[in-house]
Amino acid sequence: MSELTWLSTRELAAEIAAGRISAREALADHLARIDDVNPAINAIVTLDTEAAEASAAAADDAHARGESLGLLHGVPMTHKDTHDTAGMRSTHGSPLWADRVPAADSVIIARLKAAGVITTGKSNVPEFAAGSHTFNPVFGTTVNPYDTTKSASGSSGGVGAALAAGIQASGDGSDMGGSLRTPGSFNNVVGFRPSHGRIPKLAPDNPHAWLGQSGFMARTVSDIALLMQAGCGPATGAPWEIGEPGSVFDLPEFRLGAVYQPELSGVRVGFSPDFGGQIPVEAEVAAIVSAAAEVFAGLGAEVTEDVPNLEDADEVFRTQRAYDFAMVFEEMVEAGGRAQMKKSLVDNIDAGLALTAADVRSKDAARVRLGAELWKYFETCDVFVTTTSQVLPFDAELEYPTEINGEPMADYLSWMRAATLISATGCPAVSVPAGFSESGLPVGIQIVAAPGRDVELMRIAHAFEAVTEHHLRHPQL
């Protein structure tokens, strides 16, 4: 382990900008860490060392010439395998795309590169990002650095495991049903799902899709804010966007060397570890999450047991997810791809193909009601705090937990309703490390704010992180 292993992205970028570390040196350290720990966790599945070395050399040359440097100049980073990287294999964890090499970058990758990131490879995902456990027939299973017999969650499980293992300090991911937040909880890192339009979508992806969002994971909230500076803001041709630039995330308390006194006076926190009894939560998880209420109260927040009315959220999430899967995969299924897809993925696609006009109308009406309830809730509460995951990291040999507290789970979505119910709302949400089980497994809390209030959400999460410092506990690989 080198002295660079546990630097934050901010710290590493600052060291490179100051000339104390070269981009080449940062890359060599990054690649050495992959060699050291990746065989144990299987987080990184594709590498292009030659291209990365050329990019790092070019970054050092630009620095030597005195050129203007991006926020992330020279920082090495792998990317989620469902985000396209131009000229680099992007498989989405599917044998159908095992050799696929896209010609263009996804929006989030293009923005990271524009900020100076050195792309080194790809991190593992479930097949087509379906499910919150990272395994696929192309690369196998990614496991948890805190216990390599356990799941790293998903679909951004490869990213989460890489951060926890010290391969990199932050990275990109995406979240439809908790795919940034649940891996954040399982790997003791931060996972942030932003508001719709913070990171705009462009064709050929469906730019109107709202349920799935690109976002970031990091070991600190401060690094999430730094990546949001680079990754969000308007884009030409995007039909849905939040017009604020990334600079709104450049807050004084996030900067290196800032004197920061965490304090949340006047913040109104609605708190419940189990959505007011609406979802089953393992006892050890519930106990760790419950202890967070005292932390918020100690920071000066007003903590109540108010819970938003989410009775329409299941219908909204499941119908919209099925519709989105049918939109993306219909042609692939009709072309014969069904036989090479896992059953749970096919079931979601078939559910979408079977939707009727009445189903879609019912979902839209439910979404209207859900939105009205949320705006009513956020008139009296600034954030809702709950569990991120209903379970501790589970056996990596399982596809998903089949029961919680003796209650059977109907399918692979049922065990993660703590995340999917929030996805249906369209609210920004962040998972922050909250503690550890007796066996040393991480647990996160989920903090949820009203749509568009991403910056305020970051500030609240940062305060919680600052006084608890659970993120400083690293696995022993």
By annotation, the residues acting in catalysis are 80, 155, 179
Write out the H or E segment, with its range, that includes residue 353. Answer: helix 343-353
Q: Do the beta carbons of residue 281 and residue 415 sit within 8 Å?
A: no
Write out the H or E segment, with its range, that includes residue 455. Answer: helix 454-468
Evaluate the CA torsion angle 128, 429, 313, 327 in order and state its sign: negative
From the list 109, 133, 131, the residue with the least C-alpha distance to 122 is 109
Q: Spell 413-443 as b/e; 16+ CB within 10 A means b.
A: bbbbbbbbbbbbbbbbbbbbbbbbbeeebbb
Q: Which residues on adjacent β-strands are paired with residue 44?
A: 123
Q: How far apart are CA 434 and CA 444, in angstroms?
A: 5
Q: How far apart are CA 227 and CA 112, in angstroms?
A: 8
Describe the crossing of helices 9-17 and 221-231 by its angle, rounded to 10 degrees: 60
* DSSP of 234-264: --TT-SS---S-GGGG--GGGSTT-------
Evaluate the CA torsion angle 85, 352, 217, 374 in order and state its sign: positive
Side chain identity at residue 468, one-letter code: T
Sheet with strand 170-175: strands edge to edge: 170-175, 213-218, 190-193, 429-436, 442-449, 383-387, 268-271, 302-304
Evaluate the CA torsion angle 147, 148, 151, 155 in order and state its sign: positive
Q: How far apart are CA 186 and CA 105, in angstroms?
A: 28
Q: Do the beta carbons of residue 475 and residue 40 sit within 8 Å?
A: no
